[in-house]
Structures are given as structure tokens and as C-alpha cells.
Amino acid sequence: MKFIPVKGTRDFYPEAMRMRNWIADAWRSASLRNGFEEYDSPIFEYLDLFTAKSGDEIASQLFNLTDRGGRNLAIRPEITPSLARMVNAKINALPRPIKWFSIPRLCRAERPQKGRLREFFQWNVDIIGPQDELADAECVLTAVDAMRELGLTSNDVQVCYSSRELLSEVLESLGVKGQSSADVMAVLDKRNKLPAEKFEAMLSDAVGDKTAMAGILKFLDTGAIDPDASPAEIAASAGIAPSENATAAIAKLQAFGGYLKAFGIADWCRYDTGIVRGLAYYTGIVYEVMDVGETLRAIAGGGRYDNLLEVLGGPAVAASGFGMGDVVLGILLEEKQLIGDLAQGVELFVIDGSADMFSDVINVVGRLRSVGAAAEFSYKRQNIGKQLKQADRRGACKAVILEPDGVVMIKDLASGEQTACKLAEILSDPTTIL
């Protein structure tokens, strides 16, 4: 009988767990520093919550189960629907802006491949309330802040952003509507993952009309957005019909760019018309964090989703946020060799000078731990030299060697320096040797 983990899931042995905690700690401290509060939802929800809005891609990736009453449940593939449900349930009691984060475990029944597993952790950061692009920019700042803490720089990653609103408007002005518009967006979403030729062929199939195709290609070629030009001028240079909606979307992109600059993170970010985002619920600015080499999947993705709370039965309240998974980020951190030695040693390793003093060892260990010190000992009765080696392997700072006649030697394992004290002293006040 041999048991194995399910394909696409991970066993976190201590070393892998330290890495996972190191990433989660950076996410958590960046969140708190940026003024977000932590929340969490159950690991499963009624199935409806997930099928009500996310679009087919996610619905096809659900792990389904039933409760004792036979009702359909699913393990959460993302936390945003649960967030919307929770916020809707207390919408009048929660002071706005609602700035929340979470680090949920998520499961998707996908085919496992590089950077994509069936079970992963995803940092979610959301601001609910403000319509201002300031909220989008603050979410991006929070993402950058965590990546900075993990050692990444703007030479490693870029936040590539665009406007879903502007793209919709451009497609509409070119006569690409309804299902055709959705198909075109699905192809655009694959742009960075496909060879140019294949991309153009797929796009041409989805668009149909040649004039529309040319218009889309011209729009995709738009470079950086000039913060000082008028929206109408920018529309003209990108070949966009200067409708009210189009100029409004351009003005929002300009405002967003201004906030990124004021937050000091303009060099981490760039306008990129190729960003669409798969999920159906985005309504405004959208973005993906990409490695600069663009050899990996997106490290994070997010944007504005002003309709979701209402779609899930709540009032019309604006919202914006992103998710950053641990898998692709972990690959990048490894590639960039940013993972240091995460092993955490104990402070003290207590050693017996002879086996008959072992009950004193246990006694000292108990006292040390009771005052908050990390103290360890050897389960095996062996000579001092072997116990010292074990202390070293456990990364101990000091060895506490109990010698006969109530004498204790404290040995600094880095410097080798030794000091002596009495066992009775340590037992009466163990803090004296910390």
C-alpha cells in the first residue's frame, strides 16, 4: 500500500513551508503597511456563488462536492465572489473605503503545468467604495511594496496596465459587438502567450472585417499615454473614435498614471494594450504583473470590477483589486536567487555532561521555554561532543552544558566564548542566561 499526493497539489515539507511563509509574511506586512485589514472566507461555498458571475472559464475548473442535504457546493477557485458576498451582507455597517486583504488557499481542477497547480495560495487585495482610480493605483502600490520587500525590482517585473473600458469602446466603434467582442477579447488575452503570426491569424478569424482588424492593430500599437495631452488628442493618435466614453476612459488612464507617479512607482508600471484579463467582471483599469523577460505566466492580475457586488445581490458599489499567486512568484524568486537561508535556529541547546543529569536538562528546558526562550535538547543520550554537533545542526546560538556539581557552562557557538553559572540560578531565574 503506497499513498501519494494528488497530482497538482504540493506537500509542504519544512523547507518548502518556510518559503511559503516567507512569501505570505511579505504579503501580510505589505498589506498592513498599506492600511488593509485581513479577512477570510470558508474553503467551500454554495456552487451558485461561483457560477453566478465569473464566466465559463472558472466554472469549468471547479471542484464540486455536496453537503449532507445533497446541496451543491464547490471549493473556492477564487475569493472575490466570497468577498463580494461578505461585503454585501454588511454593506451598511462597514465604513468605507473597505480596504481588505486575504491569503486564501484556492483550488482549480485544471491540468497542472508550469506555474499552474490545482491548489495554490493567492494574495488578494481589494478596495471597495471609491470610484477614483486612486484605489486602483493604491492596490498596485501594495503589490509593488510586497514585491520590493521580497527583493524584486522594476528591472525584474513590470505592472502592465490597460483599460477594459477603452478596449470595449474601441471594439464597439469598429463594429465588433456582442459575442464577436467577447471572442476578440479572448484572443487579445492570449497575445503575450502566442507567436505574432498565430495571434494575428486568430484575431483575424475572430474579427472578420478587415477594416476593423486594421483598427484593432493600430490601437494595439499605442505607446505610452502622454499625461499632458488632451484625451481627444490621444484618441486621435491611437486611431480611436473620440466618443465621450472613449475620452472618459483615456482621462481615467491619465489619472491612474498620475497616481502611480505620485506614489513613486511609475518606473514599475507601463501602459500595455495587450492586457485584457480573462474574467468577465472587470469594468475599468486592468493590469497584470509580468516578469520582464515575459517567459512566465502573469505573477498577478487585477483591476476594477464596479458591477460585481450588484450582480451578487448587493448595491451598486465600486470595487478594485488584484490577486497574486504563490506559484509563479515562487518560480521567479528562485530564478532571481532571491531566496536566502530561511531556516530558523533555536536560541539555546541544553546539554547534559553525563546521562544521569538528563532530568536536569528537561527541567532547564522547561524553565527556559516558560519564559519564552526557544530551547532544544537531544533525545539521544550521547557525549558532549555529539550533543554540541547536534546544537550546531539546529542552528543554536548558545549551548547550555550542565556539568556535575551544579555548574553550568554557557558556550556561544559563534564565538566559542564560554561563561559559567550555577544551575540553581538558572532554575530560579532562567532569563539570566538569555
Comparing CB distances to a second copy, the nearer of 171 and 401 is: 401
Gap between the Cα atoms of 396 and 282, Å rounded: 51
**For a second copy, the closer CB: 134 or 234:** 134
Among positions 335-364, residues that touch a second copy (CB under 8 A) are 344, 346, 359, 362-363
Question: Is 264 near a second copy (CB under 8 A)?
Answer: yes
Q: Is 429 in the site for a second copy (CB under 8 A)?
A: no
Residue 263 binding a second copy, by CB under 8 A:
yes
Contact 147, 289 (CB under 8 A): yes
When the beta carbons of 122 and 181 are compared against a second copy, the nearer one is 122
* DSSP SS3 for 312: coil
Q: How far apart are CA 188 and CA 378, in angstroms?
A: 60
Out of 24, 194, 394, 403, point to the residue binding a second copy (CB under 8 A). 394
Q: For the segment 58-77, give every residue that binds a second copy (CB under 8 A).
A: 63-65, 67-68, 71, 73, 75
Please identify, using beta-carbon distances, which residue of 293 and 372 lies nearer to a second copy: 372
Q: Residue 173 CB, nearest distance to a second copy (Å)?
A: 33
> Which residue, 28 or 190, has its beta carbon nearer to a second copy?
28
Piece of 189-197, 256-264, 275-283, 286-294 that binds a second copy (CB under 8 A): 256-264
Q: Which is nearer to a second copy, 129 or 284 (CB)?
A: 129
Task: Report if residue 57 touches a second copy, rule: CB under 8 A.
Answer: no
Q: In angstroms, give the least distance from the CB of 119 to a second copy.
A: 5
Options 172-180, 183-191, 323-331, 373-381: segment touching a second copy (CB under 8 A):
373-381
The least CB distance from residue 410 to a second copy, in Å, is 19
Least Å distance between CB 34 and a second copy?
A: 6
Which string of x and - marks every residue 5-44 that binds a second copy (by CB under 8 A)? xxx-xxxxxx--xx-xx----------xxxx-xxxxxxxx
Which residues, numbered 95-114, are part of the site for a second copy (CB under 8 A)?
95-97, 100, 105, 107, 109, 111
**Long-range CB contacts (< 8 A, 24+ apart) of 190-196?**
191/220, 191/274, 191/276, 192/274, 192/290, 192/294
Q: Please select the residue that binds a second copy; options are 116, 190, 336, 369, rule is CB under 8 A.
A: 369
CA–CA dist 79, 94 (Å, integer): 19
Of residues 118 and 191, the one with the C-beta less far from a second copy: 118
Instruction: Look up residue 65 and give its three cell numbers.
Output: 462536492
Q: How many residues bind a second copy (CB under 8 A)?
A: 93
Measured from the CB of residue 359, what is the shortest distance to a second copy in angstroms? Answer: 5
- Whole-number minimum distance, CB 186 to a second copy, in Å? 22
Give yes or no for residue 373 binding a second copy (CB under 8 A): yes
- Nearest-approach distance from CB 97 to a second copy, in angstroms: 5
**In the block, which residue shows the cell 493600430?**
218
- For 420, phi then psi, to 5°, come to -115, 150
- 36-42-44-49 Cα dihedral, nearest 10 degrees: -60
379 touching a second copy, by CB under 8 A = yes
Nearer to a second copy, 10 or 218 (CB): 10
Q: Note the Cα 370 to chain centre separation in Å.
A: 36
Find the shortest distance in angstroms from Cβ 276 to a second copy. 27
Residue 224 makes contact with a second copy by CB under 8 A: no
Site for a second copy in 161-180 (CB under 8 A): none
Choices 134-142, 170-178, 292-300, 316-324 (CB under 8 A): range interacting with a second copy? 134-142
- Examine residue 14 and say whether the peptide bond preceding it is cis (omega within 30 degrees of 0): no
Q: In degrees, to the nearest 5, what angle opens at C-alpha 39 toward C-alphas 36 and 44?
A: 145
First CA to last CA across the chain, in angstroms? 48
Burial of 46 (0-12, 13-18, 19+ CB in 10 A): middle
Contact flags string 301-320 toward a second copy, x per CB under 8 A: -----------xx-------
Q: Do residues 304 and 137 touch, judged by C-beta distance below 8 A?
A: no
Of 189, 183, 238, give the one whose Cα is nearest residue 216: 238
Please tell me the distance from the alpha carbon of residue 258 to that of residue 260, in angstroms, as a whole number: 5
Place of cell 465572489: 81
**Exposed (0-12), middle (13-18) or buried (19+): which is 124, by Cβ within 10 Å?**
buried
> Strand pairing of 285-291 and 98-102?
unpaired
d(CA 82, CA 416): 55
Q: Which residues contact 48 (CB under 8 A, 6 or more apart)?
A: 72
Q: Which of 252, 277, 304, 367 binds a second copy (CB under 8 A)?
A: 367
434 near a second copy (CB under 8 A) = no
